[in-house]
Amino acid sequence: MATIGLIGAGHIGSQIARLAVANGYKVVISNSRGPETLSDLVAELGPSARAATPLEAAKAGDIVVVTIPLKSYESVPVEPLAGKVVIDTNNYYPQRDGHIPELDNESTTTSELLQAHLPSSKVVKAFNHIYAAQLTTHGQPAGTRNRRALVVAGNDPGAKATVTRLLDQFGFDAVDAGPLKEGWRIQRDTPGYGPRRTADELRRDLAAAKRYAER
Ligand SMILES: NC(=O)c1ccc[n+]([C@@H]2O[C@H](COP(=O)([O-])OP(=O)(O)OC[C@H]3O[C@@H](n4cnc5c(N)ncnc54)[C@H](OP(=O)(O)O)[C@@H]3O)[C@@H](O)[C@H]2O)c1
């Protein structure tokens, strides 16, 4: 049974943990305050779940999800994530995260920042443009007409294929937005950020996205 490690167990982390357990994965969840603060969630998730520190979750996960406020990305453990697929759900909200000049001037993207922090990991951007509650309500079996689609972006094709399979298990089609540097196409305030979209609609949204400077 594969293990999904979660760094962050808030709105998105807890929902991904629920989907993972429902689909037969083990999960190791973590947050900033310590495993003892996650006992209710572990009890809800059942015997496939345990709480740990971020370091332990990073070590335990075959796939690891980073789902914390972006401003804290440099606290993510580096060495235990080497060689692993790391899913990045994070978005940039300056009012929450403080200003990050290279994001304000659009010389990089959020997931490229995480990839630079984790140079030996295979970072895949996913789950960043769906409301947390919808993760457990919008999924449908493969082949369902008008199934909701979610974006994957990443520099490693094998890692993107892994996350595409995971999305399919969780009930969603995947649309490949390209390498991480294209991740801005699904950042906050773009057409695809938030609404329910099929794969064709999401491809159109990605093509129509504009950089902040172009608006
Ligand atoms: N909410 C949504 O619908 C949604 C949708 C898509 C993407 N996102 C993005 O996904 C990320 C997570 O969002 P969220 O809504 O799940 O946030 P959230 O509910 O505020 O949860 C954040 C989680 O991260 C943990 N955390 C904070 N700093 C940490 C650190 N340094 N190391 C380990 N864990 C840490 C928090 O633990 P403590 O409580 O112990 O501090 C908490 O469990 C954000 O970047 C957000 O923009 C959110």
What is the largest distance, in Å, between two alpha-carbon atoms of the chain?
A: 50
> How far is it, in rounded angstroms, from Cα 200 to Cα 64?
28
Q: Cα(142) to centroid of ligand 1, in Å? A: 29
| Residue 70 Cβ contacting ligand 1 at under 6 Å | yes
Q: Cα(13) to centroid of ligand 1, in Å? A: 7
Q: Candidates 32, 130, 193: which one to mutate for ligand 1, based on the most atoms within 8 Å of Cβ?
A: 32
Closest-CA residue to 17 (of 43, 37, 55, 36): 43
Question: How many CA atoms lie less than 13 Å away from 105 in the CB half-sphere?
Answer: 3
As given in the structure block, the two tokens for residue 139 are 């999924």
| Residue 128 Cβ contacting ligand 1 at under 6 Å | yes
What is the model's pLDDT at position 28?
99
User: What are the per-10-residue average pLDDT scores of the chain (215 residues)?
Assistant: 97 98 98 98 98 98 98 98 98 97 97 98 99 98 97 98 98 98 98 98 98 88
As given in the structure block, the two tokens for residue 61 are 């996960």
* pTM of the predicted model as reported, rounded to 2 decimal places: 0.98
Scanning the structure block, which residue is given the tokens 């709105």?
11
What is the model's pLDDT at position 181?
98
Burial of 158 (0-12, 13-18, 19+ CB in 10 A): exposed
What is the model's pLDDT at position 1?
82
Strands (E), 52-192: 63-66, 85-88, 122-125, 149-154, 173-176
Cα–Cα distances in Å, from 100 out to 17, 56, 96, 97, 107?
A: 29, 28, 11, 8, 11
